Amino acid sequence: MKLLIRNLDRSTTEDELKVLFQEFGSVQSCDLVLDRESGASKGFGFIEMPKPGEAKAAIKNLNNKTIGDNKIRVKKAEDKNTEQT
């Protein structure tokens, strides 16, 4: 299950994000979205967890949790493959 994490503190690293989610299960991938020019975090990222039960536990426990100075928001990522005509 792919999760969208928003409102991240700009100083949060991919490693910190991965460790945070590994408390709830295995993390297949972790992608922090970075600004192309500055290389700085844009304040959101994606985590992929292979087991839906673990992903749901992560959503339940981490949504609205304060990390650094920000209260993060965690939800299931929308499927980008749905074509709009």
Q: Per-residue pLDDT tens for 10-21?
A: 999 999 999 999
Using DSSP bridges, classify how beta strands 2-6 and 73-76 pair: parallel, antiparallel or unpaired: antiparallel
pLDDT reported for residue 79: 75
Strand order in the sheet with 41-48: 29-34, 41-48, 2-6, 73-76
Predicted confidence (pLDDT) per residue in 18-75, tens digit: 999 999 999 999 999 999 999 999 999 999 999 999 999 999 999 999 988 899 999 9
Domains of the chain, each with CATH number or no CATH: 2-74 (3.30.70.330)
Phi and psi of 51, rounded to 5°? -100, 115
The CA distance from 1 to 76, in Å, is 7
